[in-house]
Amino acid sequence: MFNDENVVLCASSAYDKKFYLNEDFSKLPDEIKDELKIMCVLFTEEVGGVLKLVFDEDGSLLFTTEADEDDLLYDDIACGMYIKKMQYEKRELLESVEMFYKVFFLGE
């Protein structure tokens, strides 16, 4: 599911308290960049670990998570539920980001 052809849109880490937005996406509107940051940081504050939003080779936006082995606060079940909730509540935002990627990066 995750390979070298996947492009990272953004990532957030509960461990070093940082958010990263791939500079290739600097042309996204500021409102969208702000929404992505809020969404990702809230996720890592709530669930822990690291959250990455990546595009697969077809342009679909995927949520990937990881956690340190010794992170006792990270909960896989809560993680899955939180991702489903975000995908539902932020559906329009995520669809618009996918469309941006497909048009400007994949040339569709």
Domain that holds residue 83: 7-104
- Residue 1 located in a structural domain: no
Asked if residues 67 and 52 have their Cβ atoms less than 8 Å apart, the reply is no
- Residue 36 located in a structural domain: yes
**Per-residue pLDDT tens digits for 10-67:** 999 999 999 999 999 999 999 999 999 999 999 999 999 999 999 999 999 999 999 9
- Residue 2 located in a structural domain: no
- Residue 18 located in a structural domain: yes
Q: Is the overall model pTM greater than 0.95, yes or no?
A: no
Which amino acid is residue 75, in one-letter code?
A: D
Q: Report the 10 Å Cβ neighbour count for 66.
A: 12
Look at the chain and report how many structural domains it folds into.
1
Provide the 3-class DSSP secondary structure of residue 70.
coil
- Residue 99 located in a structural domain: yes
